[in-house]
Amino acid sequence: MDLAFTPEELAFREEVRGWIREHLDPALAAKVLGGLRLSKDDIQGWARTLGRQGWLAYRWPRAFGGPGWSVVQQHLFDEALAEAGAPPILPFGPVMVAPVIMAFGTPEQQRRFLPGIASGEVWWCQGYSEPGSGSDLASLRTRAERAGDHYVVNGQKTWTTLAQHADWIFCLVRTSTEGKPQTGISFLLVDMRSPGITVRPIRLLDGEYEVNEVWFDNVRVPVDNLIGEENKGWTYAKYLLSHERANIADVNRAKRELKRLKRLAQQCGVWDDLRLRDAIALLEVDIVALEMLVLRVLAAEKSGKPALDIAALLKIRGSEIQQRLSELMMLVGGPLTLPYLEPALEGRWDGPYPGGDSALAPLAPRYFNLRKTTIYGGSNEVQRNIVAQTLLG
């Protein structure tokens, strides 16, 4: 594997870095680098900025309105965004549902839905998990019954990230009860403004309203919003999940958070603690190993070799690294991470903070929030079974 980037790739990275410096608000970058909460305007405003440049759809081929970048250019773009402190690109539209629409949607569906995703104007959410149907997704019970030129949808989705902001939701629904559970599932695109949809917030341990229950009560969805064939949605769902699990690895954000961990250790006066330095060094080795794994995948794709089917492995290692980063940050801050001052989490606190450093305020909420990473996207226990079956036979 050749780990050296070409002169053209290095020039591309500098071009991207220059553009980000020119267009990313320093105050917004400071919020990201400090681990503060981001508003809808923070996230979608940046998405629209990327959309105007044609870079929100940075993984898309030219045929669908993307820049047609190589996999290495995509990686370098990800890296530049993370190191600059850009808000995250929410994956639900450009990274998850868009590839499904490209691969399995009709030309009319592609013309209808892809432009709004690429511009950042249309916010999407994911309707997969249900109570009792998380990692065992094939047991889902939300029903879609055909009634003329519409489906009538009834049921419930849960843990729906940022559904309170979403314009559309892509859903797995049951259209048949015959045969294996996987064979009766279809993939529907649903307008969140449809009569009969109710969004109920779920407050998390960090106090944030991030996920939701979404209820469907006789929601009418045009048959034209069905992706692909009826009862073939499980095939499309697996295609999408491979994109989600690889995205969870997020090695570039891990590299950025490692720098933040070191910075906090120095600010808190514990940088010289040898046991802490050992723990940070071990974590850094694992982050480098994860990056090598990602680059190995890129090298295979770049050389035209068969892609490495290791999305499950990337998800396992990436999610565990995120948790270890947050655990070490809590260790660095100690008891001073515990006060819960909501204005400090949003960068609005100008009063005294216990210990004198409000940079510690986001650490405990983030630690509690990241307990979820080894569960969502398919629990790591299930992912280990997938790795065993795929790689070991």
79, 130, 210, 244: the catalytic one is 244
Closest CA to 10 of 88, 62, 61, 79: 79
Q: The tokens 């989705």 sit on which residue? A: 157
Model confidence band, residue 181 (pLDDT cutoffs 50, 70, 90): confident
For 48-78, the pLDDT digits (tens) are 999 999 999 999 999 999 999 998 899 999 9
H-type alpha helices, the chain: 7-23, 26-33, 40-53, 71-84, 98-104, 107-119, 233-249, 251-267, 274-302, 311-333, 342-345, 363-369, 380-387
pLDDT tens, 74-117? 999 999 999 999 999 999 999 999 999 999 999 999 999 999 99
CATH T-level fold of 248-392? Butyryl-CoA Dehydrogenase, subunit A; domain 3 (1.20.140)
Q: Give residue 378's pLDDT.
A: 80
Q: What is the pLDDT of residue 125?
A: 98
Please state, in angstroms and as integers, the Cα–Cα distance from residue 126 to each residue in 17, 73, 113, 219, 241, following that order: 31, 27, 15, 17, 11
- The pLDDT value recorded for residue 4 is 78
The pLDDT of residue 2: 58
In the chain, pLDDT over 70 holds for what percent of residues? Answer: 95
* CB proximity list for 318: less than 8 A, separation 6 or greater: 248, 249, 250, 251, 254, 290
Q: 244 an active-site residue?
A: yes
- Residue 219 in 3-state DSSP? strand
> Which residues does residue 185 pair with via DSSP β-bridges, in sequence order?
174
Whether 307 has a pLDDT exceeding 60, the answer reads no
| CATH class (in words) of the domain with range 124-231 | mainly beta
Q: What is the pLDDT of residue 376?
A: 84
The domain locations on the chain are 7-89, 124-231, 248-392
Residue of 312, 194, 195, 184 whose CA lies nearest to 245? 312
pTM of the predicted protein model: 0.91
- Residue 161 gets which letter from DSSP? T
- pLDDT interval class at 22 (50, 70, 90): very high
The predicted-structure confidence for 107-156, as pLDDT tens digits, reads as follows 999 999 999 999 999 999 999 999 988 878 889 999 999 999 999 999 99
Q: Quick one: pLDDT at residue 383?
A: 84
Q: Which amino acid is at 87?
A: P
pLDDT tier at 242, thresholds 50, 70, 90: low
Neighbouring residues of 322: CB distance < 8 A, sequence distance ≥ 6? 250, 254, 257, 370, 373
